[in-house]
Amino acid sequence: MTPAPAPAEPPATTADPSPDLSTRTAATAPTAGSAVAVEAPGPPDHAEQHADERTGGDAGPRSPEHAELPHDRFLDRERSWLAFNQRVLELAEDESTPLLERARFLSIFASNLDEFFMVRVAGLKRRIATGVATRAASGRRPRDVLETIWTSSRALMERQAECFERTVSPALAAEGIHLLRWPDLTEQEQTRLFSFFRKRIFPVLTPLAVDPAHPFPYISGLSLNLAVVVRNPATGHKHFARVKVPPLLARFLEASAQRYVPVEDVIAAHLEELFPGMEVLDHHIFRVTRNEDLEVEEDDAENLLQALEKELLRRRFGPPVRLEVERSIDREVLDLLIRELKITEEEVFALAGPLDLTGLDDIASLDRPELKFPKFIAGTHRDLAEVESATAPDIFGAVRERDVLLHHPYDSFSTSVQLFVEQAAADPDVLAIKQTLYRTSGDSPIVDALIDAAESGKQVLVLVEIKARFDEHANIKWARKLEQAGCHVVYGLVGLKTHSKLCLVVRQEGDHLRRYAHIGTGNYHPKTARMYEDIGLLTADPDVGADLSDLFNRLSGYSRRDNYRRLLVAPRSLRDGLISRIRREVVNHREGRPAAVRIKVNSIVDERVIDALYRASQAGVPVDIWVRGICALRPGVPGLSENIRVRSILGRFLEHSRVYAFGSGGDTEVWLGSPDLMHRNLDRRIEVLVKVADPAHRHTLNRLLATGTSDSTASWHLGPDGSWTRHAVDEDGAPLRDMQETLIEARRKRRGSGN
């Protein structure tokens, strides 16, 4: 499959023979696989919460198409997220995954879980504590959800530790990459690390005593710490002290060539240096996760930038939500930590060491290409450069000829989107650039290009979303840098995050102005563009240009326009626009016209959209959903969703694009853009979908969706009970098609043929 093929050039290797939206009439039964139970349907114990209040349904007597839907029709979103992270863990456990990539997936799993506790668990605990927590749409009580999270996440963390200790670490050792503990080092290696400790570690360590004169110290979130027990030989009294592992040190220190040891082992081996004259009796490693979600009352903040900076300082002191310890910890020390941190036993996770496997990402980055996915370097999209050369393509000339559909990372970001902004900044005929920035890299060429444009006298408007979670510090930094360069920097609308991915360029061409635009599904982030799968559209279509001009005026001023020509925009028109199109498919099906719905998103939670999909399924419309993460919809339930299939694909690239396709009576309608089907996207963010006009591009995206949801493509299938089953081989044991590798191979063949 290629991102923008000519109609006469279908890539037969990447999709089923009949990729049109109308080909599937009902969900097929799943093939055999290894099912992992996540959730069984629960009783309708939340009947007191009227369904209409949650879903926006109609009150009063119901026609068949508006009959009451089952109360237990929604899966729990927190369980669904944990199931997503379990799929990440399964890639680490899979022996067919390249070895260093298995280590990387262990790191990703750990990082994902950290964020889950910092945000989702912390938010749930806060709502319970303040008495504002209500039953989830799944009907589960908040306390039950929390207890399930503790139980399920504990089991997953134990699986992660076992995978590292019993399979990945020994396999790395067999390849000459040794992850050792201090006693396993040679005497020469220990001597070398002692010298490193004295020069590089000891000067920055600060042991903190705990006694009547020294209160229990603040433990920063996600830091590694040593709980040290020492004894005064003069008095015989025992004392407790805490030593924080400096966060800027490498997680694993190299003792000799490709032989590594956790940094806390090196510190622990030299504790006598920190407590001279005292007897070091014991030490234990622990790690605390804190609530790090932000709360900024924008209505009360005269300056959002300053308010957010203050809130970032407060974030460091959020209450703890998880305590990780090594299993060998002394009970007396553990009781002290529980008491002083004010957490419960349920929030303690005792694991086999080492803790904090996010550091495995450094190991996965070692220069051992034979232990990684084969290297892939994206090339320039063929519509931007018919023949690869050292000359940069003329972006404006190419886009004047035709819309360009980009598919990253298979198409190079640097020679498409990045070059679009850079050429706009350097072009003397460009009068203005308007851009949204949600996340970008620390050394962003996009930001540099916008600064160059402003300094050369162009009008530059940049909407910086400084509330992008965990990127707030970086975005504040770039916002100030852009302001200092003369860019007009705005922070969006009060109460709404601007999550849309938009760039508009206004260019003088002869005696008239032409507008060029980019609308995408991914952030303007050159580094993640090599790892995230995203789709974008470059266009000079006048309707799109006019729509974006209107939208940017709304974001920077007081415009209240809600009707657009080729856009659906949240929070005003996006949900209703999607639901109306789903309902239109029901009409098409009843009248005998081609009807189908295919959706590719990161998450689907919104109850109103899910209910519309249920009713489409009940009417006989086939629905395919390709989701990476959370899915609150139950597929395959007789009488409710037997015509709905849900698939998930995880691999070397993070599936990140969002595409919505409708059969539309044979004239397929396809939309792409930034929104997932979650409340925050549809109600509390500026999100944008653009209608794809080019028939070849619609064909390309339909083939992509058909391939991703095909039973011949390796994926996970969601069952009606919430269980995900991995399907990686066919009935004969042969590997199913790997979606991402197929796309990579298609690019290589095209480049090799000179096409």
Residue numbers annotated as active site: 499
What are 339-344's contacts with CB under 8 Å, separation 24+?
340/210, 340/216, 341/219, 341/288
Joined tokens for residue 662: 């409708």
- Written as one letter, the residue type at 195 is S
User: Is 703 annotated as ligand-binding?
Assistant: no
Which whole-number Å values give the CA distances from 307 to 166, 295, 449, 494, 625, in the listed order? 48, 10, 28, 13, 40
Residue 688: helix, strand or coil by DSSP? strand
DSSP state of 570: E
User: Is 628 annotated as ligand-binding?
Assistant: yes
Joined tokens for residue 440: 């970008």
The phi and psi torsions of 156 (rounded to 5 degrees) equal -70, -40
User: Is 439 annotated as ligand-binding?
Assistant: yes
Q: List the beta strands (DSSP E) in 398-487.
A: 404-408, 430-437, 459-464
CA torsion sign for 707, 713, 716, 720 is positive
Cα–Cα distance for residue pair 430/224, rounded to 1 Å: 51
User: Is 73 annotated as ligand-binding?
Assistant: no
Residue 627: helix, strand or coil by DSSP? strand
- Written as one letter, the residue type at 47 is A
Q: How many CB atoms lie within 10 A of CB 457?
A: 10
Cα–Cα distance for residue pair 459/457, rounded to 1 Å: 7
Cα–Cα distance for residue pair 704/694, rounded to 1 Å: 15
In Å, how far from its chain's centre is CA 570?
A: 20
Cα–Cα distance for residue pair 552/543, rounded to 1 Å: 14
Cα–Cα distance for residue pair 609/634, rounded to 1 Å: 13
* Pairing mode, strands 532-539 and 512-520: antiparallel
Nearest to 486 by CA among 453, 446, 508, 464: 453
The angle, 0 to 180 degrees and rounded to 10, between the axes of the packed helices 77-93 and 99-116 is 160
Q: Return all residues near 302 (Cβ < 8 A) that are at least 6 apart.
A: none
CB 196 within 8 A of CB 254: no
DSSP state of 604: B
* Pairing mode, strands 348-351 and 320-326: parallel
User: Is 656 annotated as ligand-binding?
Assistant: yes
Partners of 505 in the β-ladder:
433, 516
User: Is 112 annotated as ligand-binding?
Assistant: yes
Q: Which residues are annotated as a binding site for ATP?
A: 112, 532, 628, 656
As annotated, the binding site includes: 112, 439, 469, 532, 628, 656
Q: Which residues are annotated as a binding site for Mg(2+)?
A: 439, 469
